[in-house]
Amino acid sequence: MKDAVQSLRRRWQELYSRSSIQMILSLSFTAVAVLGLVGLGLTLFLRFSSSNNTQQAENSQRVLTQVNWNLDAYLRRIMRVSDTAYYSVIKNTDVEDKSLSPALDLLYENNRDSLVSIAVFSQEGGLVADAPLQKLKNSVSPRWEDWFTQATNKIENLHFSTPHVQNLWEDPDQRYRWVVSLSRYVELSRGGSMEGGVLLVDMSFSGIEQICKDVDLAGSGYLYLIDGSGEIIYHPRQQLIYAGLQEENNLAAAGYSDGSHKETFQGSRRQVTVKTVGYTGWKLVGVVPMESLWDNYGQLVLFVLFVLLFSVFLLVFVNLRLSEWITAPVKKLDRAVKDLEARRKDIDFDVGGPYEVEHLSHSLRSMASTMDHLMEDIIQQEEQKRRSELDVLQSQINPHFLYNTLDSVVWMTENGRTQDAVVMLTSLARFFRISLSRGSNVISIGDELEHARHYLTIQKMRYKNKFSAAITAEEGVEGLYTIKLIVQPVLENAIYHGMAYADGDGEVAVRAFREGDDVIIQVTDNGPGMPEEVVERLLDPGGPTALAGAKGSGIGFRNVHQRLRLTFGPAYGLTILSEPDDGTTVRIRLPALDEEAARRYRKEETP
Amino acid sequence: MKRKILLQLVVPLLSLCMLFLLLAVQPDPASRSVEPVELSVILRETDTAALNAARQGMEQAAADLNAELRLLTLTTAGSGEEQRALLEREVSGGAGGVVLVPADRETLADSVRQAAGQVPVVTMETDMGESGAKAWVGADNAALGTALGKAALNGVRPGETVLLLDSLSGDNAVRERLEAAAAVLKTEGRTVEVCTPGERPLSDALKTALSELRPSLVMAFEAGALETAASVLETVEQPAPLLYGAGASTAIAAGLEQGRITAIAAQNEFAAGYLAVEAAVRLARHQTWETEDPLEFSILRRENMYEPDSQKLLFPVIR
């Protein structure tokens, strides 16, 4: 469970982080609005539904009250007939002297629309009088009939029976009538003495049916009538129930109190309204299937549903547009920031929008401007730093060489080798002229090789021609450009470490040639060479500044190497190929700069 | 942008309007009422008096299910040939379904099979499912005959004669009831004679049989024959033989009450009529109908005919 919650939370966070502000705003607004709408709609609908149910229940109550009133009036009329027969006819007549039949007949004729028969029986069940005049069936014994026993058992009451087929009278047409019997105990006067008897009034079943049948309840609602025990007195589908083809929840309804109830019968929900019919204890039961209630306002439900859907749709649309309008400046700002990240120029931070976004855009614009200035400052500072480093490296060369050469000139002059001293000084002068190059750090490869040549002249004199030197250049290479003083330090190392101990057979060769877009100036000597670890240390910026046991600082290699890399990038610099006893080859790789390219480098030098 | 607005606003709006129209024009239940089914009910009698309760059930079902009934009686009671002709005529005449009270399985088998291929045929009393009838409504004839036979055992001593009325010659419900009753009676040592009227009226055949066989008990197996037998027995010199039979009508009830009929095996004729028409209508509308269990029946005598349940069985609430 916990894992599932965490997984859900993680997914939600992923979705959240992947979604745009507009999407989040749209979905949030829509969800809240739809929930609100649905809640409101549901509340209204339930309220309406409840109100409608109440109204239908009240309507059923009204109908039942009306039917009850009619039924009560009908039953009271029958009871009045019974009262009249008893108090006006039976009590005033001695059955031995006078027949009751004419008076009963008159009473019957006045109420024949409601009555089937009126009859008076003695306590033994003998027929005393009846109307209309009929013959009692031989097979019938009235005293064992329910209506008779009820009347004699509770003599103070009037008794209404459930519907039954009246089987008392012979009928040549063999008609069997369903009736509801009203029976009561009566006192008969016979020859001056009183004896008990039973007055039976059979009312027409159709009379009750007329009252109950055309009742207008909602939809397919209907009404039925039961007695106190739940026995059906009237039901619109009474014969189907009698035939076992349909069932009714009449026994349960007998237990309902007056009012509206809900029940589920045979899987169908129904609203049942019950009303007790006064004296009889009968109950009128109005049944309205819940489906009927829905049918009545199905169109309304449809309309509400449509309005709801339409509102939801409008909300979605408005939310989409609104969120788009709100998030447009933010999106624009986002694009501007992306441009800023991509180092584009002329970024438009003027995104408009509400105050917060406007403020944010101003801040970003200010920040971008500040960043630009800072970047420019940093670049300038870096350039100055690079130039300073170059100057420092440059300055490391000249005093070193000047010291050595002047030392040689002093030495020659002291030994009377004036001519040699002149040659050396001449070469030195030319050497320095090229070194200065009117302050420019970029010179032609031809000048650089010339510079190397003068240097070699000086050194050869110093080392008394212990070695020979040759400088060659591929055609066209001399016209290309390089930073100055890159060959001389290499030569210096070749001489100090390769030629110092040569015995006239030392050789130093300088060769300049093209290799693709690059120029290679290769300095080769046939000196003793170096072991691999020494070679590795030579170009290591963090390595020791002097070679153990060797003359010279070894700073020249690193100096040239760093200058080339600082100027042209890490792809350029020195490569040393050396094996012990097998000489050394130093390859200086630099880009092939024409006049135009060289001008750009000169420009960078300008502070 | 325009395309976006079109997608966001116009298309859903049109969809909603379409939905609303579709929902709004949905016909209300009143206008969705189905076409009435024309049903032909081919009876076995020359009139419907003996089938009054069943006819009421049929009419009630027709009213409930929106069907139009055409009740067809025969010119000669129990004529299978006439029923066959009527069946063929009604089916070719476009009846939506047929309810048939078969007089003879053999005579009607081909016609029923042919008719059942075109319209649903539902039979009452006599099951013709083997001939293609889609449904059958009635009591278990063998059980009913057995029950009647057992009920009659009290009215006739062993060795005495029981006359069974084979009022409908042929293979039908009457034959099944008769055979079942005969089996019980014979088993219990009663002499069983069968009165087959043939071409003669049943009353004449019965009178002849009564005078010739002097039975102690007469048993009829359908309402018409029972009513006829009751009438005939009223005219014979007393003591008349006891009369037992199957069927329920007001005339039979009167006979029962007056003692002319000793006992009857009665099914709810209203229910039988209702169920037969309901089955035919539902099948005509291509709805499902599962043949229900056989109808229940009760043995009624004068003593119990006015009990509440018996009243409901014998006397339909006439409106």
A550: pLDDT confidence band, cut at 50, 70 and 90?
Answer: very low
Chain B: residue nearest A320 by CA?
B8
**Partner B, chain A 305-324, Cβ-Cβ below 8 Å:** 305-306, 309-310, 313, 316-317, 320-321
In a domain, B148, yes or no: yes
Name residues whose C-beta falls within 8 Å of residue A297's C-beta, 6 or more positions apart in sequence: A48, A52
Q: Does A164 touch chain B (CB under 8 A)?
A: yes
pLDDT above 90 as % of chain A: 13
Say how far apart CA A494 and CA A504 lie, in whole Å: 15
In a domain, B31, yes or no: no
Distance from CA of A229 to the nearest CA of B (A): 15
Contact criterion met (CB < 8 Å) for A295 and B12: no
| pTM for this predicted structure | 0.64
Contact criterion met (CB < 8 Å) for A242 and B24: no
* Shared domain check, B169 and B124: no
Contact criterion met (CB < 8 Å) for B23 and A139: no
In a domain, A409, yes or no: yes
Query: How does A548-569 read in b/e, with b if 16+ C-beta sit within 10 Å?
Result: eeeebbbbbbbbbbbbbbbbbe
> Tens of pLDDT along A95-141?
888 888 888 899 899 888 888 899 999 988 888 988 887 888 887 88
Considering only CB atoms, A176 lies closest to which of B29, B250, B258, namely B250
pLDDT < 70: residue spans in chain B: 1-2, 4-6, 8, 23-33, 50, 318-319
Task: Give the residue carrying structure tokens 């700002």.
Answer: A333
In a domain, A19, yes or no: no
In a domain, A273, yes or no: no
Pick from A242, A299, A303, A319 the residue to mutate for testing the B interface (most B CBs within 10 Å). A242
Give me A15's structure tokens: 């979705």
> Helix, strand, or coil here: B10?
helix
pLDDT of residue B279: 93
A391: pLDDT confidence band, cut at 50, 70 and 90?
Answer: low
Count each helix (H run) and each strand (E run) in chain B, helices first.
12, 11
Task: Give the residue carrying structure tokens 């039975």.
Answer: B215
Distance from CA of A165 to the nearest CA of B (A): 7
Q: Look at residue A545 and tell me whether its pLDDT is greater than 60.
A: no
Geometric angle at alpha carbon A533, from A527 and A538, rounded to 5°: 70
pLDDT of residue A392: 61
Q: Total structural domains in chain B? A: 2
In a domain, B248, yes or no: yes
Own/partner pairs for A85-94, CB < 8 Å, 24+ apart?
Answer: A85/A118, A85/A120, A85/A199, A85/A201, A86/A184, A86/A186, A86/A199, A90/A120, A90/A186, A90/A187, A90/A188, A90/A189, A90/A197, A90/A199, A91/A187, A91/A189, A93/A189, A94/A189, A94/A190, A94/A191, A94/A192
Task: Give the residue carrying structure tokens 């439900």.
Answer: A301
Chain B: residue nearest A244 by CA?
B271
A35: pLDDT confidence band, cut at 50, 70 and 90?
Answer: confident
Query: For position A461, which CATH number holds?
Result: 3.30.565.10
Q: Total structural domains in chain A? A: 2
Considering only CB atoms, B20 lies closest to which of A163, A306, A321, namely A306
Say how far apart CA B223 and CA B266 lie, in whole Å: 9
List beta partners, residue A442.
A483
- Which of A100, A74, A75, A76 lies closest to A87 in space, CA to CA? A100
Say how far apart CA B151 and CA B139 lie, in whole Å: 17
In a domain, A387, yes or no: no
For A341-466, strand residue ranges (E) read 442-444
Q: Look at residue A298 and tell me whether its pLDDT is greater than 80.
A: no
CA distances from A60 to A66, A201, A253, A300 (A): 10, 31, 15, 21
pLDDT of residue A551: 46
In a domain, A154, yes or no: yes
Q: Which residue has the higher pLDDT, A393 or B214?
A: B214
CA distances from A21 to A323, A426, A605 (A): 8, 79, 50
* Shared domain check, B165 and B112: no
Q: Please, are residues B116 and B102 in contact by the beta-carbon 8 Å criterion?
A: no
Pick from A175, A176, A179, A229 the residue to mutate for testing the B interface (most B CBs within 10 Å). A176
Task: Determine the distance from the C-alpha atom of residue B116 to the mean position of all C-alpha atoms in its chain, rounded to a whole number.
Answer: 18
In a domain, A123, yes or no: yes
Contact criterion met (CB < 8 Å) for B270 and A164: no
In a domain, B6, yes or no: no
Own/partner pairs for A367-376, CB < 8 Å, 24+ apart?
Answer: A368/A340
**Partner B, chain A 165-184, Cβ-Cβ below 8 Å:** 165, 167, 174-176, 178
A425: pLDDT confidence band, cut at 50, 70 and 90?
Answer: confident
CB atoms within 10 A of CB B212: 11
A221: pLDDT confidence band, cut at 50, 70 and 90?
Answer: confident
Name residues whose C-beta falls within 8 Å of residue B22's C-beta, 6 or more positions apart in sequence: none
List chain A residues with CB under 8 Å of B315.
165, 176, 178
* Shared domain check, B44 and B120: yes
Contact criterion met (CB < 8 Å) for B60 and A239: yes
In a domain, B98, yes or no: yes
Whether residue A399 is preceded by a cis peptide bond, meaning omega within 30 degrees of 0, is: no
Query: For position A156, which CATH number holds?
Result: 3.30.450.20
Give the DSSP letter string of A306-323: HHHHHHHHHHHHHHHHHH
* Shared domain check, B134 and B161: no
Q: Look at residue A395 and tell me whether its pLDDT is greater than 90.
A: no
pLDDT of residue B99: 94
Own/partner pairs for A31-37, CB < 8 Å, 24+ apart?
Answer: A33/A312, A33/A315, A33/A319, A34/A312, A34/A315, A37/A308, A37/A311, A37/A312, A37/A315
pLDDT of residue B145: 94
CB atoms within 10 A of CB A491: 25
Considering only CB atoms, B24 lies closest to which of A139, A302, A317, namely A302
Distance from CA of B54 to the nearest CA of A (A): 11
Tell me the Ramachandran region of residue A397: left when phi exceeds 0, alpha when psi lies from -120 to 50, beta otherwise: alpha
Give me A39's structure tokens: 């809640």
Task: Give the residue carrying structure tokens 């189907």.
Answer: A240
pLDDT of residue B319: 54
List chain A residues with CB under 8 Å of B16.
306, 309-310, 313
Q: Which residue has the higher pLDDT, B284 or A292?
A: B284
In a domain, A355, yes or no: no
* Shared domain check, B231 and B88: no
pLDDT of residue B297: 92
Say how far apart CA A156 and CA B93 lie, in whole Å: 66
Q: What's the alpha-carbon Rg for chain B, to the nearest Å? A: 26
CA distances from A490 to A383, A397, A497, B253 (A): 26, 11, 10, 144
Task: Give the residue carrying structure tokens 């101990």.
Answer: A501
Q: Which residue has the higher pLDDT, A304 or B143?
A: B143
Which of A10-19, A194-203, A219-228, A358-367 is most confident? A194-203
Q: Please, are residues A16 and A24 in contact by the beta-carbon 8 Å criterion?
A: yes
pLDDT of residue A548: 41
pLDDT of residue A604: 61
Last residue of a domain, one of A188, A209, A230: A209
Considering only CB atoms, A165 lies closest to which of B57, B271, B315, namely B315
Last residue of a domain, one of A162, A184, A209: A209
- Which of B40, B74, B108, B105 lies closest to B224 in space, CA to CA? B74
Last residue of a domain, one of A209, A239, A270: A209
* Shared domain check, B244 and B199: yes
* Shared domain check, B154 and B89: no
> Tens of pLDDT along A141-161?
888 888 999 899 888 888 888
Stretch A249-263: mean pLDDT: 89
Give me A328's structure tokens: 């447009």
> Tens of pLDDT along A170-197?
887 778 888 889 999 999 888 888 899 9
Q: Does A575 touch chain B (CB under 8 A)?
A: no
* Shared domain check, B198 and B132: no
Name residues whose C-beta falls within 8 Å of residue B292's C-beta, 6 or more positions apart in sequence: B137, B275
Q: Look at residue A357 and tell me whether its pLDDT is greater than 70.
A: yes
> Tens of pLDDT along A53-74?
788 778 888 888 888 888 888 8
In a domain, A539, yes or no: yes
A299: pLDDT confidence band, cut at 50, 70 and 90?
Answer: low
List chain B residues with CB under 8 Å of A295.
29
Considering only CB atoms, A313 lies closest to which of B13, B251, B268, namely B13
* Shared domain check, B274 and B134: yes
Chain A: residue nearest B251 by CA?
A174
Q: Look at residue A518 and tell me whether its pLDDT is greater than 80.
A: yes
Q: Which residue range(s) make up the domain with B260?
A: 141-267
List chain A residues with CB under 8 Å of B59.
none
Say how far apart CA A265 and CA A249 lie, in whole Å: 7
Q: Which residue range(s) make up the domain with A108?
A: 93-209
Say how far apart CA A102 and CA A131 lie, in whole Å: 8
pLDDT of residue A600: 81
Stretch A424-430: mean pLDDT: 87
* Shared domain check, B257 and B170: yes
pLDDT of residue B65: 92
Task: Determine the distance from the C-alpha atom of residue A142 to the mean position of all C-alpha atoms in its chain, rounded to a whole number.
Answer: 83
List chain A residues with CB under 8 Å of B29.
295
* Shared domain check, B273 and B260: no
* Shared domain check, B146 and B160: yes
Query: For position B163, which CATH number holds?
Result: 3.40.50.2300
> Helix, strand, or coil here: B166?
coil
For A171-316, strand residue ranges (E) read 178-190, 193-204, 222-226, 232-234, 259-265, 268-277, 282-289
